[in-house]
Structure 1
């Protein structure tokens, strides 16, 4: 019996009215007609596939319809007063996606998409200068926890300022939703730590400069908050030179392109666990992962799972070519900063009941006596003594730069595992490490007077900082430019008399690696005081394309006593190099932020 004979004329008519494409055999007048391809093609080439790889619902592909395509470009027609997104598409990308990739659709909206392209048929090239498609993109999906406090499905934004030369910016936002009951069932954070020590739901999206969501990651096809090897916080995003994004979560590290196409999604190598914070794509194609040692035998014979103090270097095939075990390189018993930190916010371990509390020497000693290990602020391997939150590779001398929050130190380490320099207060460093602490100087190279952890002349160290990154385009083998977000907790090795005296800074330093000196050349944030203060997370990163500095004060206005009812209000700023005031300020309301960064469509669609 033929397929055609199974369907009545009424059934066929209803299917056509509903917009379904029937198999070729149904449409043929006289039985089977071979493996023809029949899909609804609303334009001159192929069909439209929205969310082609399942994790990027605000993308689509206009398939090539069997033609060879070249020289394509795309324009998303903006809403009234909205930001235009327009880009060219390389021929390689047209082949990779078997059509024209469409990025930047407005959610819950009938988008107008203009495309131009050349198609080739029977050796003849035909140019289509402008073809318009209408594409509906679905509303943003976000899981809910049933709380009345959650009343918006992604971000509420306030655009304060965008100068004309930055109006084309697109910002990737890497934030989190607070832990809901589904995630909370599998979290065992304190005192033992482990793979699901943090289990906030990912909130990864791209905003335009009007504050509109133009892309987001629907994570559920690759993320399950109740499964140990598919869960954990998504962190460490970087857009690679090839335009794709690398990041990690829990026991995985991954690479996906902007359309949602998977390049790889791998388990961490055996012996390492608990990725979070930092993944650096090096210039040689290797990845530096901030992980822990899953099974370490301490000098006292105790076997522990270490906490955020190992950097594993993996090659393109996922093989571990080297690692940096920081408990062997630095001093895991330096306790000056740990004793001064506010225990109410130890990175994402936020506990309002401990706001303002600091650790005493007796409390630290008791941890050893009582065999307390895990994700707790303390000293020695097996505790959160280092809390490394960024790693960056320096190809000029084959070294890495790490930011250790709980040492308030940015440290450069060579391939030989020897420390090259330390940007930190000199207090508490011993032996050879004490000799590696940089000396502050002014613009004329004159030594700045410092006593303990406080210096004159406006110079300051960084305190519980994030993102100690090399500015590659301005640095060479001798002079090193460093960008850092100075969070500011435990500033000067103490807590201020009043909590609202705290402040954060975005800082740029110039380091003379031969003379072992450091000059502070730019800062921002001190003047904004407590309302801009981010006790945890955040980012500062130089942007080559606009000679600018991107800053994300990711937990601004987080007040410990109000945390259960009021989330932080992250702030995006971008500055022209050396400017005292930002060219961009966008506020995100009631969201727990980690990092943010500009997105390049040129890289994404392979035109670099």
Structure 2
């Protein structure tokens, strides 16, 4: 056999090639199977070597505690009003209580008993038809706790209550509710334009334009720019309406605190249902052996389909901020998931970042400001201002699917994730954007219709030719499979530098074919402007300027929300 092989060297070569192919193929298969796990582990170690934290450490530093703050008082007051109602006799004069839960001055509670079971409709008499707010409480009762929202400040309000029996007989009574002056912190709201018939005001005109505070008082305006709701508890960034109609807000554990570290479930009356407290005690950048109190949650929080909350957080690192998300259990507050964006993006993004600086010396390289989750396709979309990027992630694995951002300083290994202009179009890439949201899908979820507020400031990357010349509300069509994008609508360019906002801002569909845009940081933060515009005609149907507010308390977002989201 050896003799034959010597005479046929081509056979020897062929055998060697086959053996090498088999061995190489086996090794390649083994490596390809192990590679994802290996990469994840290596990436995690790389992040930790560069000053990041392990998942276990993040959970330990951030774990919130459940608080009874406000809950006991809510229960005590509710019991008191129940007792008062029980003591009333049918047909007797009603008991009217202004600001029943102490933190919502433009709300009231009317306690009354009727001889027959009746359904109640309230009408807060407004200055115009479009500012008269009506609401019907479903069901027929003889004992009534009638919640009233949308009162005017600093006047005697007239609230008409219509009692309707099952037989259709109606009786209307008018109650007066006196309210105090607005706090000066709200600032001055000047109406520029209002066409109520073209606005999206909801059933009974109960949808208000909410100016969500950066760090101060959040309030709601009616169709004529008048304040019809506000809370005395200061909030920072987070003011979200939950599926059950309650509110999720980020506030302070104590009024005297400098940081916002209480995530609270409340409502428009000020009732408190649950609260998660964060300590925020993290190592400092200058001396990791020393600690300081930080605000843990920043910018955004969303309700997941199972009721849990996904939060944008500082993870407790002495080096990095605003680049991590945690999912907490709604019932217990326990941290169930951690997503560290340093483990998602390329190393140079956070090791070579110098576009912005902070007074505490920490690196705010990503600055996540919003997110939206698509359960059907397990997709998490996140916005990072300081990278001028919108990312699509697989929520289960945390792996990157695509990057919507200009192709500047993107390593070769990440080029495959970049979303490019659709054929025949030139896309203006987002710069320092905010308020990402999914407004529609097509092709089985492959095509996304997104809305966001494009600040149009090229922080790390962006459109250099138009940088800082204007800001705009924008909608785009993004094909995830082809990784292409095109603009389908935008508004703001025509307003030029007057409405350019270096930071903050929002752009949300509100119905009637309209979008509400919050130019939150106009005139270098001295003015916020709320503009409702029709997407088909680009005609403005509502426009309010906000000025004379406290330094740093510009309006982070403008949202159109109903005072009675669940019929309560």
Q: TM-score, normalised by structure 1?
A: 0.68
Answer yes or no: is the 8 Å Cα contact 2:456–2:463 preserved in 1.
no
- Give a deviation string over 1:336-385, Cα, whole Å, max 9, x none: 9955x5x5xx7xx7xxxxxxxxxxxxxxxxxxxxxxxx755xxxxx5111
From the superposition, tell whether residues 474 and 572 of structure 1 become closer, same or farther in structure 2 (CA, over 3 Å).
farther
Deviation at 1:38, TM superposition (A): 8.8
Match of 1:513 in 2: 480
Question: Residues of 2 paired with 1:329 and 1:436: CA distance?
Answer: 12
Deviation at 1:504, TM superposition (A): 0.8
Answer yes or no: is the 8 Å Cα contact 1:422–1:436 preserved in 2.
yes
Match of 1:603 in 2: 565
From the superposition, tell whether residues 336 and 555 of structure 1 become closer, same or farther in structure 2 (CA, over 3 Å).
farther
* Aligned ranges 1:113-132 → 2 under 5 Å: 113-118=159-164, 128-132=170-174
Q: Which has the larger radius of gyration?
A: 2
Question: Residues of 2 paired with 1:573 and 1:42: CA distance?
Answer: 48
Deviation at 1:43, TM superposition (A): 7.4
Task: Mark the runs of 5 or more structure 2 residues left unpaired by the alignment.
Answer: 1-82, 252-259, 283-294
Question: Residues of 2 paired with 1:255 and 1:99: CA distance?
Answer: 21
* Secondary structure at the counterpart of residue 496 of structure 2: helix
Deviation at 1:405, TM superposition (A): 0.5
Answer yes or no: is the 8 Å Cα contact 2:88–2:113 preserved in 1.
no
Deviation at 1:319, TM superposition (A): 2.3
* Aligned ranges 1:363-402 → 2 under 5 Å: 375-376=360-361, 382-402=362-382
Deviation at 1:132, TM superposition (A): 0.7
Answer yes or no: is the 8 Å Cα contact 2:441–2:447 preserved in 1.
no
Question: Residues of 2 paired with 1:125 and 1:52: CA distance?
Answer: 32
Q: Select 2:438's aligned residue among 470, 477, 484.
A: 470
* Secondary structure at the counterpart of residue 414 of structure 2: helix
Task: Mark the runs of 5 or more structure 1 residues left unpaired by the alignment.
Answer: 1-34, 144-152, 177-199, 224-232, 297-303, 350-373, 377-381, 449-456, 559-566
Answer yes or no: is the 8 Å Cα contact 1:69–1:99 preserved in 2.
no
Equivalent residues, number: 455
Match of 1:73 in 2: 121
* Secondary structure at the counterpart of residue 270 of structure 2: coil
Deviation at 1:579, TM superposition (A): 3.5
Match of 1:191 in 2: none
Answer yes or no: is the 8 Å Cα contact 2:507–2:515 preserved in 1.
yes
Match of 2:261 in 1: 251
Question: Residues of 2 paired with 1:100 and 1:575: CA distance?
Answer: 35
Match of 2:514 in 1: 548
Match of 1:370 in 2: none
Match of 2:39 in 1: none
Answer yes or no: is the 8 Å Cα contact 1:46–1:66 preserved in 2.
no
From the superposition, tell whether residues 473 and 588 of structure 1 become closer, same or farther in structure 2 (CA, over 3 Å).
farther
Question: Residues of 2 paired with 1:141 and 1:586: CA distance?
Answer: 19
- Give a deviation string over 1:257-284, Cα, whole Å, max 9, x none: 1121112221138999621110112233
Answer yes or no: is the 8 Å Cα contact 1:236–1:280 preserved in 2.
no
Match of 1:27 in 2: none
Question: Residues of 1 paired with 2:383 and 2:158: CA distance?
Answer: 45
Answer yes or no: is the 8 Å Cα contact 1:243–1:258 preserved in 2.
no
* Aligned ranges 1:144-543 → 2 under 5 Å: 154-166=187-199, 168=205, 169-176=207-214, 200=215, 202-219=216-233, 234-249=236-251, 250-268=260-278, 274-294=296-316, 296=317, 304=318, 306-317=320-331, 318-331=333-346, 333-334=348-349, 339=354, 341=355, 375-376=360-361, 382-414=362-394, 415-441=396-422, 446=423, 448=425, 457=426, 459-472=427-440, 477-490=445-458, 493=461, 502-543=469-510
Larger relative helix fraction: 2
422-431 or 103-112, which deviates more: 422-431
Question: Residues of 2 paired with 1:236 and 1:36: CA distance?
Answer: 35
Deviation at 1:71, TM superposition (A): 2.3
Answer yes or no: is the 8 Å Cα contact 1:388–1:403 preserved in 2.
yes
Answer yes or no: is the 8 Å Cα contact 2:391–2:400 preserved in 1.
yes
Match of 2:153 in 1: 107
Match of 1:359 in 2: none
253-262 or 238-247, which deviates more: 238-247
* Secondary structure at the counterpart of residue 277 of structure 1: strand
Question: Residues of 1 paired with 2:120 and 2:428: CA distance?
Answer: 51
Question: Residues of 2 paired with 1:37 and 1:238: CA distance?
Answer: 32
* Secondary structure at the counterpart of residue 435 of structure 1: helix
- Give a deviation string over 1:239-262, Cα, whole Å, max 9, x none: 223222212242221121112111
Answer yes or no: is the 8 Å Cα contact 2:280–2:296 preserved in 1.
no
Question: Residues of 2 paired with 1:84 and 1:387: CA distance?
Answer: 41
Q: Select 1:58's aligned residue among 97, 100, 106.
A: 106
Deviation at 1:141, TM superposition (A): 3.0
Q: TM-score, normalised by structure 2?
A: 0.72
Deviation at 1:495, TM superposition (A): 9.9
